[in-house]
Structure 1
Amino acid sequence: MIRHEGRLVVCAVQFLTRIPTPQLAAFRPEWIQQSARYYPLVGQIVGGVSALILYGAAQVWGPWIAALLAVGAGIALTGGFHEDGLADTADGLGGGLTRDRRLEIMKDSRLGSYGALALGLTLALRVAALAMLAQVSPLFAAVALLASHGLGRAAAVGAMTIMPYGGYPGMAKEGKPDRASVAGLAVAVLIALWPLAFFSPVTGAGGVALGLLVAAVPAWLAWRLIGGRTGDVLGAVEQAFEVGFLLAVAGLAAG
């Protein structure tokens, strides 16, 4: 059992990041779906590295450069995995008039105007919120960045649990397109929650509330327009949560 859970952790790291890992012997595609419970842990690894860069850079160059470097580090570690999902979702849901056309656009690797606008806006908001937090406290900004990455992945696992698969067979990036289990979601949430111990109850609850509210927007649009989630939609949910969480925390911290 412990050995299998270790395999799932490695599988989650392989699926979500560019971090080198040992090769998995006798790999099975269903491990990708099962490993979803550890997505927040992978997010915390990425967020932890980004947080260290933010804190260190803030001592040398100040909040804005530190925020840019931290966000850039997260993108480098994941290969822009979630950002790509956000852009594809925006292009598909914004540019298609039918379900088939929306899915066709989402599968297209080219970046359209809706995707470019969504990507640019979310990146700008994340950098601005982190810079605002770093002006108050670089250490608190680093903790907020760590928390946002883990909680954002937990939100994506929540979407996997609640939403049916809306794409075509063979289109799923996250493996077999079944719903994630409730037990897996519970594990993911428990892993994601621990950084909130460093927040006041009001700030932590406010960040999670706005994060979930913003993340619900792409999830609801996808459910209405294509009938459910795809791997791209999960990326959009994760990115939307990060934006909402960081904006709420920055606003409450500044206040």
Structure 2
Amino acid sequence: MSSDAHTARPSRLLTELRLLLMAVQYFTRVPMPGWVGHSTEQLSGTARYLTTVGIFIGVVGAAVLWATSLILPAPLPVILSTAATLLLTGAFHEDGLADTFDGLGGGATRERALEIMKDSRVGTYGVAALVLTLLIKVAALSALPVTLAIVVLIAGHAFSRTCAVALLFAGRYVGNPELSRARAVAQPMGRGEFLFAAIVGVAPLYWCGMHAIAGVISALLVLYRLARWFVRRLGGFTGDTLGAAQQLTEITFYVAVLASWNST
């Protein structure tokens, strides 16, 4: 093997490692060393690691759930687990959920909806959507056995981000590129990048057994309806609607898995 090939391989691995760490830094509150970088140009391409970050977030939440379940009764372990993931991500996707419902609930026109979604204040629609989403998440996971809830939590975080990546891959970005925080990662995604993200995001479903089938089908149906809604109202997706899609497919996954488990 030539010396050029030896040089290219570490360089490629270093590039991918940097992209992964930038994705962790962007989608969570975990600080990274300065050499990782965070410029808009460098962030392009990090979306393929969104599902990998989802697994990381899910594992942290699952660890908190398991540890607290040893000494606390339900639903406290799930509440504390949810709080841990919120702290870890800075409520990144939850903020998008609230903004989406404020915009689409209060904006009669496309332009007005996008304007409302950029407002940092949270309105009635956003608060209602956020509270209901968190309540459904806590209720669904608390109703499952702890051992199943742990793997379902990890799978839910990963697969719901697969749904968001699918929207990014197949949809059209319509947000303001000058104002949106998502502009750095909402770039056209190649098929290879999407396939990598999807494989990583689907992998944890194995540990959920047959119950995962109901969760996946239900989440994809919700994603389809959301995509049509976003196209009809906005003409495509924004960073906020990506967050909304992640949150809504996540809770759909949990509820469907719970329904499947109850029926057995």
| TM band (smaller chain) | over 0.9
The structure 2 residue matched to 1:183, chosen from 192, 199, 205, is 192
Residues 33, 174 of structure 1: 8 Å contact kept = no
1:14 Cα deviation from its structure 2 partner: 1.0
1: CA distance between counterparts of 2:178 and 2:226?
Answer: 22
TM-score (norm 1): 0.94
1: CA distance between counterparts of 2:33 and 2:165?
Answer: 24
Residues 218, 253 of structure 2: 8 Å contact kept = yes
1:169 Cα deviation from its structure 2 partner: 2.9
Measured against aligned partners, the alpha-carbon deviations of 1:16-57 in whole angstroms (never above 9, x if no partner) come to: 000122224565423333011111111111110100111121
**Change in 2 beyond 3 A, CA 1:90/1:246:** same
1:232 Cα deviation from its structure 2 partner: 0.4
The answer for the alignment partner of 1:232 in structure 2 is 240
Unmatched segments (≥5 aa) in structure 2: 1-11
2: CA distance between counterparts of 1:47 and 1:197?
Answer: 15
Paired residues in the alignment total: 251
Q: Does 1:111 align with 2:122?
A: yes
Measured against aligned partners, the alpha-carbon deviations of 1:88-147 in whole angstroms (never above 9, x if no partner) come to: 0000011001111111000001000110111011111000001011xxx21110110011
1:219 Cα deviation from its structure 2 partner: 2.6
More displaced 10-residue stretch of structure 1: 231-240 or 172-181 = 172-181
The answer for the alignment partner of 1:63 in structure 2 is 74
Q: Does 1:164 align with 2:161?
A: no
The answer for the alignment partner of 2:21 in structure 1 is 10
The structure 2 residue matched to 1:198, chosen from 197, 202, 207, is 207
1:77 Cα deviation from its structure 2 partner: 0.2
1:205 Cα deviation from its structure 2 partner: 1.4
TM-score (norm 2): 0.91
2: CA distance between counterparts of 1:31 and 1:153?
Answer: 21
**Change in 2 beyond 3 A, CA 1:91/1:27:** closer
Residues 91, 113 of structure 1: 8 Å contact kept = yes
Residues 21, 36 of structure 2: 8 Å contact kept = no
**Change in 2 beyond 3 A, CA 1:238/1:26:** closer
Q: Which residue type is aligned with residue 227 of structure 1?
A: G
The answer for the alignment partner of 2:154 in structure 1 is 146
Residues 84, 235 of structure 1: 8 Å contact kept = yes
Structure 1 moving runs of 4+ over 4 Å:
25-28
Residues 45, 187 of structure 2: 8 Å contact kept = no
The structure 1 residue matched to 2:59, chosen from 38, 48, 67, is 48
Cα RMSD for the two superposed structures: 1.4
**Change in 2 beyond 3 A, CA 1:27/1:243:** closer
Q: Does 1:84 align with 2:95?
A: yes
Q: Which residue type is aligned with residue 87 of structure 2?
A: A
Q: Which residue type is aligned with residue 224 of structure 1?
A: R
State the percentage of identical aligned residues: 39
Residues 122, 243 of structure 1: 8 Å contact kept = yes
1:180 Cα deviation from its structure 2 partner: 1.9
The structure 2 residue matched to 1:21, chosen from 28, 32, 48, is 32
Task: Give the secondary structure class of the aligned counterpart of 1:174.
Answer: helix
The answer for the alignment partner of 1:35 in structure 2 is 46
Larger radius of gyration: 2
